[in-house]
Amino acid sequence: MRRAFLILVALLSIGLSGHDAAAQVSLSINIGPPVVVGAPSAMVMVPGSSVYFAPGFDVDIFFYGGYWWSPRGDRWYRAGDYDGPWRMVSRSSVPRQVYRVPKEYREMYGKERHIPYGQWKKERGGHGDSRGRGHGRGHD
């Protein structure tokens, strides 16, 4: 009995110490499309343009040319509706008026007229999505 115990201890020792343990650490940072929960409370027009932004979100979300646009890191995303689905697009697909909105737009234009989202949507024919709107491609 003692001999079987010693053999078991020896085998376990060889198994644990005789092989290098492989450990792998993985870090993934997702800078993907924005996730929006609920409709915007209001929309604000960037003065001198046809670009609107949604001031109530923590991410940058703009509306222009019948599409919703959002930069995330070095990438841009476009959607037909504020809650997606969001698709990554090349920067050359983002209209010039959208990517030229100043980075400080919230501070600069936050006091501009806030249009309640329902009213803003109604002014656009009943929706703030891409149905029947501009093509939104290229540098409009």
Residue 15 lies in a domain: no
Residue 103 lies in a domain: yes
Question: Lowest-confidence range among 4-18, 49-63, 71-85, 109-123?
Answer: 4-18
How far is it, in rounded angstroms, from Cα 118 to Cα 106?
A: 21
pLDDT in tens, 95-125: 999 989 988 888 888 889 999 999 998 888 7
Residue 74 lies in a domain: yes
Indicate the helix (H) or strand (E) that contains 8: helix 2-17
Higher per-residue confidence, 20 vs 48: 48
Residue 114 lies in a domain: yes
- Per the structure, the complete domain to which residue 110 belongs is given by 42-123
Residue 113 lies in a domain: yes
Per-residue pLDDT, averaged over 127-133, amounts to 47
Per-residue pLDDT for 1 more than 50?
yes
Residue 138 lies in a domain: no
pLDDT of residue 29: 46
Residue 48 lies in a domain: yes
pTM beyond 0.95: no
- How many domains is the chain built from? 1
